[in-house]
Chains A and B, each alone.
Chain A
Amino acid sequence: MMEPTVALLTTMALPLAAFVLCLLTPNHHNIRDGGTFIISILLLGCVLNVLSHFNAGTSIEYEALAFQPGLSIAFSVEPLGMVFALVASSLWIATHVYGIGYMRGNKEQKHARFFACFAFAIFATIGIAFSANLLTLFLFYELLTISTYPLVAHKENDAAKKGARTYLGILMGTSIVFLLTAVVWSYSIAGTLDFKPGGMLPTTLNPMFTAVLLALFAFGIGKAALMPFHRWLPAAMVAPTPVSALLHAVAVVKAGVFSMLKVGVYVFGIDNLASTGASQWLMWLAAFSILAASIIAMAQDNLKRRLAYSTISQLSYITFGVALATSMGAIGGGLHIVTHAFGKITLFMCAGAIYVATHKTNISEMRGLGKTMPFTFIAFGIGSLSIIGLPPFAGSWSKWMLLVAAADTGQIIMIGVLMVSSILNVAYLIPIFARGFFSPATGTGSKAVNADMPWREKLMEAPLLVVLPPCLTAIGCIVLFFYADTIVDFLNPIALAPSLETNNG
């Protein structure tokens, strides 16, 4: 066991070490990939170490720099961040393995730059997870944008450049114009930027101001892909699939909704939002995003684009949870971060596996592939069902909680929205999986398959390193179903804190 603060800092030092290692070994593929793999496992161990300290009730805080009173670069551990760090670090291992297989199997260029930026993005993600104030959050938020830019532009062709431009333009643009303004404004109102249970801003703030400030935050955190600032997500799909998988299903987008949760819980305070009604409009916008993105997803033939729009829709569930302004909503949102991460990363990794094995990107070309790639497609099916929210898969719990939260607040229309959305999810995810197994194979490229061939010979799976990770995360989707209550219990304090506060004060 390490000292609590040391462990906290090590969680950030490890990905940085991986970053340096990757830069130093541009031509030693095995050393670099192996070393980074070891570091990723160490990171998970280290995060677990922080968790055990946290569970023991130690308060873990570290202030790196202080400029002025109330302005500092500081880190602290709280339940939401702990969960986010756990998700990011555990999925880093899976994606790193997958990335090795994908980059080699696909003969991509510039491995060192790729893995270096990848590690740096993890560093930024962990920094976001453990940030103790808005300034630190903003710092790492921007670092995450910058470090993922080379990953999106990785292929260096015109499409990649264009996609990367959109990616950077929207993410940096919104964060500079709206988020920075919101942060400076909050500072000028509250005189501090430290996250505080029950809300950092004074409750006496004019409701009108609260609504405007919330709008600045909601649109400023472009990574949460709230419409109309969602265009970067499909644009970023030009990136190699491991990037899409970890960064655009887990780290980047989750950093966005995680920041939204943090802002809702620790900057405004759930009770404050509920009493002023400042978040009503956000709830409607999130509901619109949920439905609109799902409908657009149905029209996409490119698999990764369809998944991207699905992500936009699912992210809005979390924003929706914040906007409901109930403790149930916030916790449901927190849980959805975890369950959606596992589900969506499975889907993306499967999409990549299909691409590596067959070089197919369009859904219409994937008929009958399930017979030659059963593992990939079964994993895809499990991921889909989890996203849709059917038991016994993890996604069912978070959707259930959000539904209950909506019912609690008496938002009948919102219940309808969530249910329609689930049906839409079925409509755009299940056909992929079903056609894979039940349609006859079409197109060229796949080898002739006879019914009487032994099953092993029928297989045309991608390399092991590419297929194994999605299978593992798919199993994770099932396992999480049974442990969801652990996470909920763990997250409970974020909702309890404000009521304690009001009782005392």
Chain B
Amino acid sequence: MLSFVSAHSPLLAIVIPLISAPLCMLFGNRTVAFTISTLAVAASFALSIYLLWWVKDGTVLSYHIGGWAPPLGIEYRVDTANAFVLLIVSAMGLLTLPYARTSITDEIDENHHTLFYACYMLCFTGLMGVTITGDAFNVFVFLEISSLSTYVLVALGAKKDKRALSAAYDYLVLGTIGATFFVIGLGFIYMATGTLNMVDLSQRLPAISDSRTVRAGFALIVIGMGLKVAVYPLHRWLPGAYTYSPSAVSVFLASTATKVALYVIIRFMFSVYSARFGFEAVTFQYVILPLALVAMFGASFVAVYQINLKRMLAYSSVSQIGYMLLGLSLLNVEGVSGAFVHMFNHAMTKGALFMAVGAIVFRTGSAMLPNMAGLGKQMPWTSAAIVIGGLSLIGVPSSAGFVSKWVLMSAAFERDWWLIAFLIVGSSLIAVVYVWRVIEVLYLQQPNKDVVVKEAPLSLLVPTWILIITTLWFGLHADFAIGFATTAAENLIQGGFGGKEVIILGVESR
């Protein structure tokens, strides 16, 4: 049994949550659906940890689905980079579920609860699948699975606020455009190389890297995924989707969806295209880097003026994504590992913040800043969580945010780009402003005396505080994330799909 699980662990991490989605609908009972999905995500989480430990030294696992050897068959390929992202996604997925169970009672009609769980599981499966697969077209398939279910999840917020429908529609339109660009890009490189397996692509592309088709393919892929990542001018769907979707959905999307899309960009850029030099590197230095800087400042400025706290956090996400893109654009090991470290740290921080805001919405029914006056006294634990999460966004030492900033700044110094290092810290100054606005409202304004607000229930507080504590823990024990991220970055920077050794899993090849 154990050897079976071990041999099929990459596949099981995807298939278990996939199967649980229809089961949720089939049983039609929300308690059962919750149990099934929690068990499935927990299994997926355990497998992710198992895989990460297996590949942490740079080993690569190659799993041939159904025994069909690539490039004909579909391959799942696990290395340190995507095992790390798998861990982020599954951990956040697991923590969000118990939170969701309470928070959706208020936000979603009771007869839609099983639908919620089913879509959640599909979304989860999609994100995990995008991350694990080694087949370029398979990325597109899983991407659509996660996107389509996300549109539904966002739209489920309509019970509370009808604007959720238009937000979901915006996301649907832009998301589809992004996916289309992506698949056209895939078509271009398929045309040029005749293969869709990533390892195969990485071997064939260097020879024809001057071809206009290949370059256009790269551009289309980056733009398509850039829409999903919410690279600065392509971010218009994000604030609406995060603001009006149910709290639990905001938590899950904010901490995982954009990161997975970013991972895809990284994978295509470094592994498939081996973009250390040449056209792709130029793209990143002259196009993505300025955009990242614009995001870091522009989106932060916009965040300062938001009075809806969820919207503020959403804009803050856009700016934090700028940090990750900046790390990539540095095109060195420190920079790429900085991007991974920040993915991990930002997932925890933003997840915790969205959870805390969700708890306030649960109690007061609103995420508007003016309604939160004096909540520091009435909801001490939730407010304290917002303070610590906010400090981590700023990047105060001993919080996770500090670690990412440190790594990114070292990376900038390593390339002798002083100005960039300055801009990194400069942007966190704006974070000070938007975080402190909230802290002032929570603690220094007089509460409305007529309204008695109770502290959030434990089922919301416990997941929030687990994330807050991990934020502080990994702020001090930074070697955990930095270790994995550096191994991942070293492998990626080399280009291609090499690793220490490649282990082939699954049933015997036919």
Same assembly: yes
Name A's B-contacting residues (CB within 8 A): 65-68, 73, 135, 138-139, 142-143, 146, 150, 153, 156, 160-161, 165, 168-169, 172-173, 176-177, 180-181, 184-185, 187-188
Complex CA–CA separation, A403 to B132 (angstroms): 69
Contacts of A156 in B (CB 8 A): 444, 446
Contacts of B465 in A (CB 8 A): none
Q: How far is the CB of A98 from chain B (nearest CB, A)?
A: 25
Complex CA–CA separation, A156 to B443 (angstroms): 9
Is chain A's binding surface mostly helix, strand, loop or mixed?
A: helix
Contacting A at CB under 8 A, from B422-471, are 422, 425-426, 428-429, 432, 436, 440, 443-444, 446
- Supply 12 A–B pairs (Cβ within 8 Å), ascending by A: A68-B482, A143-B397, A153-B444, A161-B440, A161-B444, A168-B436, A176-B425, A176-B428, A181-B409, A184-B409, A184-B421, A185-B413
Closest 4 A/B residue pairs (Cβ): A188-B413, A139-B397, A184-B409, A67-B478
| Other A-B pairs beyond A67-B478, A180-B405, 9, CB < 8 Å | A67-B482, A156-B446, A168-B432, A172-B432, A180-B425, A181-B409, A181-B421, A184-B413, A184-B421
Answer yes or no: B69 CB below 8 A from chain A CBs: no
Contacts of B432 in A (CB 8 A): 168-169, 172-173, 176
Complex CA–CA separation, A55 to B410 (angstroms): 39
Is chain B's binding surface mostly helix, strand, loop or mixed?
A: helix
Whether the pair B478, A177 counts as a contact (CB closer than 8 A) is no
Contacts of A184 in B (CB 8 A): 406, 409-410, 413, 421
Specify the chain B residue showing the minimal Cβ separation from A136: B397
Whether the pair B398, A139 counts as a contact (CB closer than 8 A) is yes
Complex CA–CA separation, A181 to B395 (angstroms): 13
Contacts of B46 in A (CB 8 A): none
Contacts of B482 in A (CB 8 A): 67-68
Complex CA–CA separation, A73 to B478 (angstroms): 11
Contacts of B405 in A (CB 8 A): 180
Q: How far is the CB of A500 from chain B (nearest CB, A)?
A: 32
Contacting A at CB under 8 A, from B297-340, are none
Name B's A-contacting residues (CB within 8 A): 391, 394-398, 405-406, 409-410, 413-414, 421-422, 425-426, 428-429, 432, 436, 440, 443-444, 446, 476-479, 482
Specify the chain A residue showing the minimal Cβ separation from B480: A67
Contacts of A188 in B (CB 8 A): 410, 413-414
Contacts of B436 in A (CB 8 A): 165, 168
Contacts of B446 in A (CB 8 A): 156
Interface centre among A66, A135, A176, A185 (most CB of B within 10 A): A176
Q: How far is the CB of B413 from chain A (nearest CB, A)?
A: 4
**Contacts A176-B428, A177-B422, A181-B422 hold; do A142 and B397 have CB atoms under 8 A apart?**
yes
Whether the pair B479, A67 counts as a contact (CB closer than 8 A) is yes
Complex CA–CA separation, A172 to B431 (angstroms): 11
Whether the pair A176, B429 counts as a contact (CB closer than 8 A) is yes
Q: How far is the CB of B470 from chain A (nearest CB, A)?
A: 16
Whether the pair B409, A180 counts as a contact (CB closer than 8 A) is yes
Complex CA–CA separation, A156 to B405 (angstroms): 32
Complex CA–CA separation, A181 to B425 (angstroms): 8
Complex CA–CA separation, A172 to B428 (angstroms): 10
Contacts of B398 in A (CB 8 A): 139, 143
Q: How far is the CB of A128 from chain B (nearest CB, A)?
A: 12
- Select one of B429, B444, B476 contacting A177, CB under 8 A: B429
Contacts of B413 in A (CB 8 A): 184-185, 188
Specify the chain B residue showing the minimal Cβ separation from A169: B432
Contacts of A138 in B (CB 8 A): 397
Complex CA–CA separation, A496 to B63 (angstroms): 65
Complex CA–CA separation, A138 to B402 (angstroms): 11
Complex CA–CA separation, A143 to B472 (angstroms): 13
Complex CA–CA separation, A165 to B440 (angstroms): 9
- Select one of B422, B428, B443, B477 contacting A150, CB under 8 A: B443
Contacts of B429 in A (CB 8 A): 173, 176-177
